[in-house]
Structure 1
């Protein structure tokens, strides 16, 4: 690890070890179970479509154990542990170095045999994301953001790297984006729905990992969420910012894992953020 301005950043060797860990986890615990789950391998959490599988639990356990071995002084928390011990959610922003894991983001897709899921890993410094990985186990490629180097890169299965850049600004009627519409209260959905045709297209992938990957690669313009789970958003916030975009709350507050309420808008540029916010903020946010 490298200390810069009181922030401890991962060095290149440590980053390589983490990428290798995610690859091994996918090959060992995730991909052999893809399209190969029994009914007993899948259960529900908060809702009937909020799923957890044997692969989620096994991959989180493997990643957690190896990170604790590699970084014995760091705190390591995963989505599935937090679902059983919710108090950990409020504590993760209290630490100088905290690894946050979503072992399978897009579990509904995974459990239903849809090859649109990923592993999300982030490193927080008192709740602020300083490193993030968005890994696609199907294609074996990464999007990696490193605040210490101010880089956001794509790395393919052969480890060929290229830097990423978000899309250029354009008019509202030409924008496409992701809005987590189904997670909003029903009354909010009815209020919001008439405003969606102001954009070219809005959709959802049921996978924050791929939504943020597509945003960082310049293929969509924005992503809006009201569920602020750090395992879903911390890495994606950083990839958006370091690829040239803007990611912050409707009240202009910078994202931090401490936040539990509000609307997080990530966009390809400051201009696009303002365009989307001017349409959606008056409808959704009462601040």
Structure 2
């Protein structure tokens, strides 16, 4: 059990949920549709944005989460951008909080509701619990390894895709892929498959976990984008595979693209299409 493994105090899981909600309420939602131009910065080009909300929310979560679990560390998107060596904590012995303060920053900047805060708790490369919170949509998904997945307190199951219906797959945006990855993703442009560019990765994973989307196919491996969603999909009955047929590893070194799908059969089919 996660509580016993990490020696967490009683109620710690709900305390994490409260911490995520409080960070969003304090640092994200007051800035939703209120951002000034100077509060939006390009990190690595026009498609890679960061806002004052991203940075403030990550700082808020770093303080609150490490207080909940003494001895833990945080691997956050903005901290790693400032110091890439922070990422090395994923391979260490300490429990790690993996944080994406605003997943879907582009949507957040445009005043759209399709963004979320992602938090996952991992140790030795294994994701133990995750929280996916979409404050503008009032949705909180929680997954705990071996205990299943919940959305707003109710169990969710991915189920199998409808027989005979086109597979609905969200894929990496072309701007974020290498020529080789673009070629692999072209394998999804066949009869019986309906691909589209993804939005917030966290919310695409939630769509798979609740059965509204059949699979995702992504070409990057930053842990903050995937750790929470991969556990959510797995605990909802789904599966994930890299292009070599192995499960995705949050510590990196994966063969890309990879997929997460509503069931194992769909994951295998997507990988086959990606490797044709």
Q: Same fold (TM over 0.5)?
A: yes
Q: How does 1:263-274 map to 2 (within 5 A)?
A: 263=256, 264-274=258-268
Task: Tell me how far apart the structure 1 counterparts of residues 197 and 255 of structure 2 sit (CA, whole Å).
Answer: 19
Task: Tell me how far apart the structure 1 counterparts of residues 120 and 9 of structure 2 sit (CA, whole Å).
Answer: 14
CA-based RMSD of the aligned residues comes to 2.0
Q: Secondary structure at the match of 2:119?
A: strand
Task: Tell me how far apart the structure 2 counterparts of residues 199 and 23 of structure 1 sit (CA, whole Å).
Answer: 40
Figure out how many residues of one structure are paired with residues of the other and give that number.
273
Is 1:176 the counterpart of 2:174 in the alignment? no
Displacement of 1:151 in angstroms is 1.2
Q: How does 1:195-214 map to 2 (within 5 A)?
A: 195-214=188-207
| Residue ranges of structure 1 left out of the alignment (5+ in a row) | 156-160, 283-287
Once the two structures are superposed, what CA deviation does each residue of 1:180-225 show, in whole Å capped at 9, x if it has no partner? 0412124642564364133442113331111011010001111111
Residue 276 (structure 1) aligns with: 270
Are residues 132 and 9 of structure 1, via their aligned partners in 2, closer, same or farther at CA, if it must alter by over 3 Å? farther
Task: Tell me how far apart the structure 2 counterparts of residues 254 and 192 of structure 1 sit (CA, whole Å).
Answer: 18
Residue 241 (structure 1) aligns with: 234
Displacement of 1:248 in angstroms is 2.5
Task: Tell me how far apart the structure 2 counterparts of residues 215 and 10 of structure 1 sit (CA, whole Å).
Answer: 30
Moved more, 90-99 or 262-271: 90-99
Q: Secondary structure at the match of 1:198?
A: coil
Are residues 9 and 201 of structure 1, via their aligned partners in 2, closer, same or farther at CA, if it must alter by over 3 Å? farther
Residue 158 (structure 1) aligns with: none
Moved more, 52-61 or 73-82: 73-82
Task: Tell me how far apart the structure 1 counterparts of residues 230 and 64 of structure 2 sit (CA, whole Å).
Answer: 25
| Residue ranges of structure 2 left out of the alignment (5+ in a row) | none
2:148, 2:235 within 8 Å by CA — same for their partners in 1?
A: yes
Residue 223 (structure 2) aligns with: 230
Are residues 102 and 33 of structure 1, via their aligned partners in 2, closer, same or farther at CA, if it must alter by over 3 Å? same
Task: Tell me how far apart the structure 2 counterparts of residues 261 and 53 of structure 1 sit (CA, whole Å).
Answer: 29
Task: Tell me how far apart the structure 1 counterparts of residues 272 and 165 of structure 2 sit (CA, whole Å).
Answer: 13
Are residues 79 and 13 of structure 1, via their aligned partners in 2, closer, same or farther at CA, if it must alter by over 3 Å? same
Is 1:151 the counterpart of 2:130 in the alignment? no
Q: Secondary structure at the match of 2:275?
A: helix
Is 1:129 the counterpart of 2:127 in the alignment? yes
Displacement of 1:133 in angstroms is 0.8
Q: TM-score with structure 2 length normalisation?
A: 0.92
Is 1:46 the counterpart of 2:52 in the alignment? no
Task: Tell me how far apart the structure 1 counterparts of residues 23 and 141 of structure 2 sit (CA, whole Å).
Answer: 17
Residue 26 (structure 1) aligns with: 24
Task: Tell me how far apart the structure 2 counterparts of residues 211 and 62 of structure 1 sit (CA, whole Å).
Answer: 25
Task: Tell me how far apart the structure 1 counterparts of residues 239 and 117 of structure 2 sit (CA, whole Å).
Answer: 23
